[in-house]
Amino acid sequence: MAGNGALDARDRSGMLGRLAAERFDVLVIGGGITGAGAALDAASRGLRVALVETRDLASGTSSRSSKLIHGGLRYLEQFDFKLVYEALRERDLLVSKLAPHLVKPVSFMYPLYKKVVERPYVGAGLVLYDSMEGTRRPVPRHKHLTAKSALKRAPALSPERLAGAMLYYDAQVDDARHTLTVARTAAANSAVMATRVSATGLTRADDGRVTGARVRDEETGREITVAAEAVVICAGVWTDLVHELAGVKAGYTVRMSKGVHIVVPRSALDANTGMICRTDKSVLFFIPWGDHWIVGTTDTDWSGDRAEPAPSEDDVEYILSAANRVLARPLTRGDVVGVYAGLRPLVDPQAGNGGKPTTKLSREHVVDVPVPGLASIAGGKFTTYRLMARDVIDAAVADFGRDVPGSVTDQVPLLGADGLAAVQAATSRLAEDYGVPLEAVEHLLGRYGTLAEEVLRLIRPDASLGRPLAAGHPYLRAEVTYAVTHENALHVEDVLMRRTRLFIEAADGGAGAAADVATIMGRLLGWSRRRRAAETRRYLELLEAERVVPGAIIAEAPAAAEPALGALAAAR
C-alpha cells in the first residue's frame, strides 16, 4: 500500500498536477460505489489508476439507497437465482472479512396474514435463501414465529389479521461512508481520486482507440487532458449522457427509477427488529437506523433532474399509507424528520419499444465495450458492487496486450477493518485517553473502524473538537476536520449530507450546524468570512430545494437554524 489512503482536500493542486502529468492504465469516470469499486479493483491489480467525479464521492444514488446489503429475497420470485446467490456471497464477505466495521447484520420480520398460504410459500423461499448462502455463515438462519411471538418483537404491528411471521437476517450499511471507504482504500493502493472534476470529452488515437479524457476542474475551471490506456464509465444514471458526450453508442440504455425513503424517530415504532411487508407494487422496509427508522421505498419512473431527484408529497403519502396498513399506531406527517430520494440505474432491454414497469427490470449489471479503449457498466445493485467492478475492469484490460493480474478484492479488507477486534476491545481505554464518552468512541468505531483513533487524535490539541456537532446527535466536531484532511470534503454539503448524515437524521436537516461546519472547514481551507457565509447559504438553499414542503427547515427548527441564518445576514 502507498499509505493510509488519506484524501486531503488541502492538496488539491497536487492531485490535479498528478492527473495532468502522469499516464494511467485506467481512468474511471464516476465516483459512486461502482466507480470507487472499479478504482480499487484496478489499483489492487497493480495498475496505475485515476478516478474523476463531477460532484462529491457518493453524491448520487450511492448515498440515497435503502442502506441495505442484502441478497434480494424478493428477486427469488423473479427467478433471479444467480443474482441472489452472488448477492448473498457478497453480503457474507462484507460482514465477515472486507468491512465488518461498516456492514452489520440486521434482522427482519416478515408478517404473515394468510397462514395456510403464506407460511409455506415464504418459508420455502427463506429455506432457499439460507441454502444459497452456504454453510459458513456470519448471520443466523431464519425462524418461524407465532403471532404472539411476532407482536412481542414488534408491538408496533397491528394484531388484526396477523397470523404469524418469519424472521430472517440481512445486513445494513451507511452507503455513503462505505463508498468513501472503498475510494480511500483505492487511494491507499496509489489511485488518484479527483472530485469536482468533470469529464468533458474523450481523446482518441488515429485508429479510433480511446486514449484518455479531457476533464475540467469545477472549482477553478482548469482544463486538463488525462492520458490512459483505457477509460471506464461507471456513471450510474448519467451513463447515457456520458456516452453521448463521448460520441459513442452503447449496446444498452439506462432507465431511471426513483426510490423515496422517509426517516422517523425510533420512538415512532415500537419494535426490536426491522420489518419487511408486501405492498401492491413492491415491498416496504422498516429499517432500524441508529435513533431512527428508515421506511421505504417507492419505485416510479423518473425523467427529471438526475442530480436532485425531488421527493413529492405523493411519495411521502404513499409510504405512510403503505406503512399504516400494518401498524397499530399510524405514522403521521408530523413523525417524518427526513425524506430523501435516489435514482436506480436500471438497464432497459426494451428501450424504444415501450419498455416495461421498472419493478420488472432485472437488477443484474451489463458491461459494454462500444469502442476499443472504452468500457462501461450499468445496472446491478449496491451489494454486488465488487463483482460489477471486477467485470468492468476485466473488460477494460482485455486488449492490453500484456498479462494483467486477476481481481483480488475478495482478499482486500477495506481501510479500518484490519485489527478491528483489538481496537474494539480497547474502547474504554480510548475513551479515558482522549477524555470523551464511551458512546463517542463506539460511534467512531462503527464509522471508521481502526481509523477511529485518527479522529480522536484531533481532539488533543483542540478540546472543542470533542463536542457534538449537533445536539442530540452522535457526530463530533472532530469529524468535520477529519472530513477535510482525510476524506476530501470540499463543501459544507459534503459533510452534512455524506460524511455525516444530519441531512436525513436531524429535524432541521443539519441547518443549525451549517455555520459551525463552514467555520471548521474554513480554517483548514483558507476560506474568507464571506466564503464561509456563502457555503452556509448554499447548504440552506440545497436543503430548501430537497425538502418536500418548502420553507420547512426554518419552520421546523427556528432555534437550531439561527446561527446559519445569522451567517446569511452577514453575507448580505
Angle between helices 478-487 and 511-525 (to 10 degrees): 50
Return the domain boundaries, the chain.
9-62+176-252+350-411, 94-172+255-348, 458-571
CATH of domain 458-571: 1.10.8
Number of H helices, E strands in the chain: 20, 18
- What is the three-class DSSP state of 104? strand
Show pLDDT as tens, one digit a residue, over the chain (572 residues).
346 899 999 999 999 999 999 999 999 999 999 999 999 999 999 999 999 999 999 999 999 999 999 877 766 666 667 777 888 889 999 999 999 999 999 999 999 998 766 676 677 777 776 776 555 667 778 899 999 999 999 999 999 989 999 999 999 999 999 999 999 999 999 999 999 999 999 999 999 999 999 999 999 999 999 999 999 999 999 999 999 988 888 888 999 999 999 999 999 999 999 999 988 777 899 999 999 999 999 999 998 889 888 899 999 999 999 999 999 999 999 999 999 999 999 987 655 344 445 444 455 789 999 999 999 999 989 999 999 999 999 999 999 999 999 999 999 999 999 999 999 999 999 999 999 999 999 999 999 999 999 999 999 999 999 999 999 999 999 999 999 999 999 999 999 999 999 999 999 999 999 999 999 999 999 999 999 999 999 999 999 887 764 334 333 333 434 444 343 333 33
Query: How far apart are the C-alpha atoms of 298 and 283, rounded to whole Å?
Result: 9
**Which H helix or E strand runs over 193?**
strand 192-195
The answer to whether 9-62+176-252+350-411 and 458-571 have equal CATH topology is no
Cα three-residue angle 487-488-493, rounded to 5 degrees: 100
Instruction: Name the nearest CA neighbour of 64 among 538, 507, 548, 498.
Output: 498
CATH of domain 9-62+176-252+350-411: 3.50.50.60
Distances (CA, A) of 260 to 73, 230, 339, 340: 20, 36, 7, 6
Distances (CA, A) of 383 to 34, 364, 369, 544: 10, 11, 24, 31
Domain 94-172+255-348 architecture: 2-Layer Sandwich (3.30)
Query: How far apart are the C-alpha atoms of 415 and 482, rounded to whole Å?
Result: 15
